[in-house]
Chains A and B, each alone.
Chain A
Amino acid sequence: MTMTLTAPEPTRPDTRSRLVVIGNGMAGARAVEEVLARGGGDLFAVEVFGEEPYGNYNRILLSEVLAGNAATEEIYLNPVEWYAEHGVTFHCGVRVVRVDRFAKLVYGNDGSIVRYDKLVIATGSRSFFPPLEGMWQDLKTLTPGVFGFRGLDDTAEMMRHAPDHDVAVVIGGGLLGLEAARGLQNYGMTTHVVHAAPTLMNQQLDAQAGRILQRSVEKLGITVHCNVRTTAVLGEEKVTGVRFGDGSALDCDMVVMTAGIRPNVELARRAGLTVERAIVVDDQLRSVDDDDVYVVGECAQHRGQVYGLVAPLWEQAGVLADHLTGVNPRASYHGSRVATKLKVAGVDVAAMGLKEPEHEDDEFVQFSEPRRGVYKTVIVRGGKLVGATLLGDVSKVAFLTQAFDRGLPLPEERIKLLFDIGGPSPEVGAAELADDAQVCNCNGVTKGQLVACVRGGEHTVSGVMNATRAGKGCGSCKSLVKDVCEWAAGGAVEQDPSERWYVPGVPLEKAELMAAIRERELKSVSAVFAALAPEGKEDAGSKMALASLLRTMWNDEYVDERDARFVNDRVHANIQRDGTFSVVPQMKGGVTTPEQLRTIADVADKYAVPLVKVTGGQRIDLLGVRKEDLPKVWADLGMPSGYAYGKSFRTVKTCVGSDFCRFGVGDSTALGIAIEDRYKGLDSPAKMKLAVAGCPRNCSEALVKDVGAVAVEGGRWEVYVGGAAGAHVRKGDLLATVDTPEEVVTLTGRFMQYYRENADWLERTYSFVPRVGIEHLRAVIVDDSEGIAADLDRRMQESVDAYKDPWLEAGQPATPGQFRTSLPLVELPQVPVRPAP
């Protein structure tokens, strides 16, 4: 017997269930996509009915099409071919006229009859036409010149009509009406908006916001008539005007109806489904009457709410698909918190939650600046954001949306919800940034690159940062990077547990890590990896932080493994772009002597140092020193290291103080020297730069230092912490005012020890202080509320006692080849020798 190998297999009968979707708008199409994305194509033969003879398009962008900013084809989400390509039967341009739930049949207006096992109703909504005299020519035909604004056909007809007509009246001053009026201006039309309510966009905005919006819209040349009811459309053959409730009339040759939308529920009602304001559904988006009928989008009423925005619709489609395909049978929709951000006729508007306070104890913060068209409110209840409106300036929308969605803790000063006060990149929220806006200024990463990375499947902020290197320079953009990622992921960014770890290679937060190190007496970096890292695996990116932490904890008991150090700490100098190093000798309080200066000058000559520069910390920097010259340079200098290279205590800047300055009220120079002398070289999670000012004029900029002391009249000193004037600018918070310089030294040390033990790696005090709160710091450090002040002082003293000048290694290198060049064929230095100006 022979067998024909090429014989076609008999066609198998399609055993899949039949899923029929009525409606091909944004909700219906999204539901289909979500079902297919969950492997629904294997479970269901999918058929879609769409009344409009097009593929699926983005209805939100119709106003862009009308305004001429987008071509029709640009707003298609799925063209007609998409359906066949995805195995979906598409009844294009077919309206469903009847659903027989008992026979499970759907009847199309082209005579088609389709059986279903599961049905999705996504019939959406339509323009509401209030009963106006003269609007209709007959039961089905609008008077020529009258338009709805709901679909592509409406838009196309308006675009055909507008160019050779002069005056348009838009009835309805909501979002869509304002967009229509703005769009029609582009055809040279004079436009009026007639609104029955007292203020524009009264669904989303309170009265004051509505009035400010009106001023902004009127500035654009749109005439607004509020509190005006339209009673009739005038004209027999075509529109010639409208008449208002007070009897007056307005001549026009075009009328656009944007007085609201109504859900399309007639089909469902005739099928016997419960309909109130829309079709009533349960938490699985099923009709409450029929487990085989799902409803999604604007025609669904869930827990009394009907949503007219796209974000809830997406959430609904996701839950529907989870449940329908059985991917997650427990999927459940609990309603959406609606936050919208729009550009209405060129004016930025963001609104979420309540528009006005409802309870007596609701906190209500309001800012109004009508001349600039800016209006902002927030409503806080029980410490959570429950409503916000931003008009004209939406820079805070990213944070507010997150706070609203997730119930984030809010700043104590509520005004900070409305304005950035002293924060980085104040004007721009994540959503507002242009795609080509540079977010990370160190590594040149744009918003567009971050968004592409998120869209490319990276779902954690740390993953995006690793892949793009954004936030990996000075780090000051990290929060903006996070905002952009969250915005790009639509809030679906995943929490990477490693973000909370002190170092990426050991899965412990700082407190847990320190406890484990102490308990198991881990005194070297390799011991920490062996005991605490997964599979004992060492991690290059964790070594420097662990070395710093272990030294902080163990002081001279620390087992110093040189390979765990960053190169700067291996050779006690700061590596430069060409592989040479910079050498900064200690110069306490910025005070030097002629003798020191002569020595420095001699060294600079002897080693042909390309650049000698005074630093921001009042020291002298020798730049471009070759690695192999470092020990000789130190020996010739005969001065201790200034630690201008480490994550450590750096320097104390001072003014000349009371000895010389005629304004000085305290001896800032002596105090600065005392502080530097005591705390020099201390390891810490990030560098610490200090200053002491002899009077409140603050010439040494003590208010913007990690720790700053300021002399005030009466022999007292103010101690500020958490200031910064680098990548980030922040005025320090007043920790305490004390009577003696000795107390300044003690409090400075106690604060720095607390910071060393509690800050995240690379977390500068300008982040740490606001994170833990100045009130908390005052309580712990000044008032000793936790009874740990003596312990902090003792541990600080141990660190102080363990200090050793690293430049003493000049005589005997700690490792073989410690100062050997790492670029043996490169002629160094490569930095240019700068001639004296």
Chain B
Amino acid sequence: MSTHVLGPAEAIPEGEGRAFVVGGEQVAVFRLRGGALRAVQAQCPHRGGPLADGLVDAEVVVCPLHGYAYELADGCARSGAGALLVYDVEADPAGQLVVRLPGRRVEEVGGAAQARLEDAFAEPVA
């Protein structure tokens, strides 16, 4: 597990997302209306679309290329695509964005959803 500080949360306009390079990975961080933060992988698993450019609400981000929607909380696709990696993200008392690697991915295992650590992202850079 590694911790990364990405700058002030205000750098992300409310209700939008911005992409960051975190420990060598592309991460899309969203500041939802009301202030909640969410972080997922920056590229859509469908065709590589830029998810930080997507429309969001309290629950989902919609990829701007083909309209695939993903749950921001656990990365699950709402319509037939692979799941997103999701990252822990919060604002520290100074208002700085803090993201933790590695991400988690929810996978269908024997019909039941299980979270597992993504081994590929186990090695922190920073």
Contacts and interface: CB of A to CB of B under 8 A. Distances in A.
Interface residues of B, number: 41
B47 A577 contact: yes
A562 B16 contact: yes
A544 B51 contact: no
Interface stretch (A120-128, A802-810, A814-822): A814-822
Given A816-B12, A822-B52, A538 B58 contact: yes
Contacts of B90: none
A106 interface: no
A563 B33 CA distance: 9
A540 B61 contact: yes
A315 to B, nearest CB: 34
Given A466-B79, A575-B53, A823 B43 contact: yes
B73 to A, nearest CB: 14
B91 to A, nearest CB: 15
Contact of A821 (B15, B19, B49, B65): B19
B11 A561 contact: no
Nearest to B21: A824
Contacts of A754: none
Categorize the interface residue count of chain A. 35 or more
A825 B23 CA distance: 12
B28 A822 contact: yes
B93 to A, nearest CB: 21
B50 A579 contact: yes
Contacts of A579: 48-50, 53
A538 B13 CA distance: 17
A469 B58 CA distance: 22
Contact of B67 (A472, A543, A825): A472
B75 to A, nearest CB: 16
A384 B51 CA distance: 50
A567 interface: yes
Contacts of A540: 54-57, 60-62, 69
B58 to A, nearest CB: 6
Contacts of B111: none
B42 A823 contact: yes
Nearest to B16: A563
B11 A817 contact: yes
A561 B50 CA distance: 21
A569 to B, nearest CB: 11
Interface in A464-499: 466-469, 472-473
B80 A469 contact: yes
A510 to B, nearest CB: 20
Nearest to B56: A540
Contacts of A537: 57-58
B15 to A, nearest CB: 3
A24 interface: no
A823 B19 CA distance: 7
A540 B17 CA distance: 13
Nearest to A539: B57
A823 B11 contact: no
Contacts of A577: 47, 65
B16 A825 contact: no
A715 interface: no
Given A579-B49, A823-B43, A566 B64 contact: yes
A822 B13 contact: no
Interface of A: 443, 466-469, 472-473, 505, 526, 537-541, 543-544, 561-564, 566-568, 570, 575, 577-579, 815-817, 820-826
13 contacts: A472-B66, A537-B58, A540-B56, A540-B60, A541-B62, A543-B55, A563-B13, A575-B65, A820-B18, A822-B18, A823-B26, A824-B26, A825-B26
